[in-house]
Chains A and B, each alone.
Chain A
Amino acid sequence: MSGDDQRKHTIAVLVENKFGVLSRVAGLFSARGYNIESLSVGETLDPTVSRMTLVVRGDAFVIEQVIKQLHKLIDVIKVTDLSEEDHVEREMLLLKVNAEPGARAEILRIGDIFRAKVVDVTPTTYTLEATGEEGKIEAMIELLRPFGIQEVVRTGKVAIARSPKNRVRKVEEKLGKRPGPPRPQSQDPKVVGFAD
């Protein structure tokens, strides 16, 4: 029952901070044949609650089931499909690239453009740290690829809703105001090769 309108969804899941929860969530995906593109987990302000950010690809039908099945897990407290609302997504990259004498300045310049930090230097390599949207991270990797990338480490995506604006919209809806023009999907410039 998979349609053609496959879309990436970023889903935030609040779960009890207990052992085995990650495996329940991961098990749900493997058992039902859904694909997780990325997954990251961390504690929230309340140490008994963890927050998972999942990126899943699927049509509306699959995503509805994913959300319902997540809800069904006893240790899951709340599930939010962030793709349904305005939100910010970030991931972090650590990248070790060959840096021969002739290329060192160019690599640093590229790093600068992406607001990357140098976190380790050797006579022949740089290790850079960068954060940003998936598109930015990928653009940076592409630009550095010609120099010879030794190692790439990416975190899963983390995401948060832009809540204050959301509230404004909800208030407008309540007051019966017509919604304004649709906001752009993301307020970040997505142009390949530029910083955010």
Chain B
Amino acid sequence: MLESLKKEGVDIIFGLPGGAVLPIYDVLYDFEGIRHILVRQEAAAGHAAEGYSRTTGRVGVCLVTSGPAATNLVTALQDALMDSIPLVAFTGQVPTHLIGNDAFQEADNVGITRSATKHNFLVKDGDDLAGTIKEAFFLARSGRPGPVHVDLPKDILVKEWDFSYPDTVHLRSYNPTYDGHPGQIKKAARSLIRAKRPVLYVGGGAISADASPELLELAELAQIPLTQTLMGLGAFPMAHPLSLDMLGMHGTYYANMAVHHSDVLMSVGARFDDRVTGRVDAFAPNAEIIHVDIDPSSISKNIPVAIPIVGDCKRVLAKLLEAVREELKSYPAGVMKETRRQWAAQIAEWRRDQPLRYEWSDDVIKPQFVIEELSKLTDGEAFVVTGVGQHQMWAAQYYRFKHPRMWCTSGGLGTMGYGLPTAMGVQAAHPGKQVINIDGDGSFQMNSQELATCHEERLPVKTIIINNGGHGMVRQWQRIFYKERFSAIDLGPSPDFVKLAEAYGCTGIRATKPSEVMPALEKMIATPGPVLVDVWVDKHECVFPMVPAGGANTDMIVAPPSREVRDRAAKSQTGF
């Protein structure tokens, strides 16, 4: 089995041993060419593999035992499924003759992971093992990428089988479309050129397909402003004049306004998620929508699409560039220049009216300030990972992303506790590079045990805890929509994160005043090994702009709401 993995180019496995996978661990003992990283909880193995995969473009691999280990892993699998991250996850299983017997540490692994994976396998015959592994890797990385789970009963691991690893794989029932339809591409090119108010809306698929260069070329060639989803951040440099930054629930005012008023909206590798569209009938109401996606089932799922193009983003964009160049030859340059100038002027006005902003305080640290300082200090060149919550949104808003595959966040599933284990995976894949985990105090505590892994496996991850003493995002919703009836959100001052870090053999630093932020961050970067910076921030700070759930993107709240907005929210049927 390990030989098979080596043939697939696997160099790191994240895992945790147990009874059913002991035969594999016995071989791992003196196996060369694959590093095993021992995590402290199985979900962390899955998240670490996600981090490895997202930042390298390769398939992430994790290995855990049967029963409780497999069920622990499920969260990470679902997370990878929602964000289209290619993983191959191996779990142990009781010997085939005991399956269904309620044996020790038995669970119906494939039954449980069926809906949390792109596909899964139970290997019942050792002769099928190599072929199944080949198929698993093929499925994980091809088409719309995703997690594939392989369940391995102990007896098939113990017996000796003839090893022959297949070179190719053919599945008659699985043929993803990679090349977009030429006619559709031509139509899209014509629409984009003739549009008065075009916008590109780019998601994680553009990163999976490594389509950033084509994207940049297209945006510049046709002068189209571009907005990115949470998963798409990094696909386009934020400092670029055409960048509108992030759109959606916590997107910028100018991105949401531009999308809303667009007449042609082209989505590249994004899936019109509810956090992006808000109320679907009010999303880009006047736009002709072009949708490039490798997964046909994403198209017209939430929003009716005028020009669907099923294919790999990179290949489609390359063809689209040709078509746009062709189209430009016969289109008067002056007309386009003029319409683009007007559109840019309108966007500049929105940007001037409502930039991203927060109120400064001399006494208490504003969380946005921490991210801004970090962005300056690292010059956008660090790998950034987050947990889930307010800190995640501030990181997405205020970190100035430059490159693709340097940002990992749990977008679809919103898995709290994702930060630290994922950062470990990124660090393992990129030794010597700067990896920063921006986390929340609530989110961090869901996987804080992995500080031990960081220490033992020498993974110098730097963690910044945006500590507001509670579940900030929940508090924000209770504040705005539930009449400040704060329920079950206080986490109190415990634990002392500095001491916690030290207990695990890591370095702990604390910042409580704005003036301490930069020195703390500088010290964090300068200190070797894993470091945790506990930043005490303003607990009342909210993430703005904000589109209330179920609201239209034009219902954006750009600043702390007035009493009037609060009352309206309380009366609203959707509860926003």
Contact = CB atoms under 8 A, between A and B. Distances in A.
Interface of A: 1, 15-16, 20, 23-24, 27, 31, 61, 64-65, 68-69, 71-72, 74-77
Given A24-B114, A74-B139, A77-B173, 9 more contacts: A1-B280, A15-B173, A16-B173, A64-B300, A68-B297, A69-B297, A72-B296, A72-B297, A74-B171
Interface in B115-130: 115, 118-119, 122
B100 interface: no
Nearest to B301: A65
Interface in B291-350: 295-297, 300-301
A183 B111 CA distance: 45
B271 to A, nearest CB: 13
Contacts of A27: 114-115
Interface of B: 110-111, 114-115, 118-119, 122, 139, 171-174, 280, 295-297, 300-301
B297 A77 contact: no
17 contacts: A16-B173, A20-B110, A20-B114, A20-B122, A23-B111, A23-B114, A24-B114, A31-B115, A65-B297, A65-B301, A71-B296, A71-B297, A72-B297, A74-B118, A74-B171, A74-B174, A76-B173
A124 B228 CA distance: 74
A77 B173 CA distance: 4
Contacts of B301: 65
B304 to A, nearest CB: 9
A31 B139 CA distance: 22
Closest 5 interchain pairs by CB? A68-B297, A77-B173, A74-B119, A72-B297, A74-B174
Main secondary structure of the interface of A (DSSP, over half): helix
A151 B174 CA distance: 43
Nearest to B171: A74
A72 B173 CA distance: 9
Which of A23, A31, A72 has the most chain B CB atoms closer than 10 A to its own CB? A72
A31 B110 CA distance: 16
Contacts of B110: 20
Nearest to A61: B300
A152 B114 CA distance: 34
B510 to A, nearest CB: 45
Contacts of A65: 297, 301
A14 B300 CA distance: 24
Contacts of A75: 173
Contacts of A16: 173
Contacts of B172: 77
A74 B297 contact: no
Nearest to B296: A68
A68 B177 CA distance: 13
A160 to B, nearest CB: 21
Contacts of A74: 118-119, 139, 171, 173-174
Contacts of B111: 23
Nearest to A16: B173
A75 B119 CA distance: 9
A183 B339 CA distance: 51
Contacts of B115: 27, 31
A72 B139 CA distance: 12
Contacts of A1: 280
Nearest to B174: A74
Nearest to B111: A23
A24 B118 CA distance: 11
A154 to B, nearest CB: 28
B295 A72 contact: yes
A15 B174 CA distance: 11
A15 B172 CA distance: 10
Nearest to B120: A20
B133 to A, nearest CB: 15
Nearest to B302: A1
B148 to A, nearest CB: 9
A195 B139 CA distance: 50
A27 B49 CA distance: 27
**Most A CB atoms within 10 A — which of B118, B280, B301?**
B301
Contacts of A23: 111, 114
A31 B301 CA distance: 15
A87 B568 CA distance: 54
Contacts of B118: 74
A27 B280 CA distance: 27
A27 B295 CA distance: 19
B568 to A, nearest CB: 26
Contacts of B173: 15-16, 74-77
Contacts of A71: 296-297
A32 to B, nearest CB: 10
A147 B560 CA distance: 71
A2 B301 CA distance: 12
A106 B314 CA distance: 72
A153 to B, nearest CB: 28
Contacts of A31: 115
Nearest to A70: B297
Contacts of A69: 297
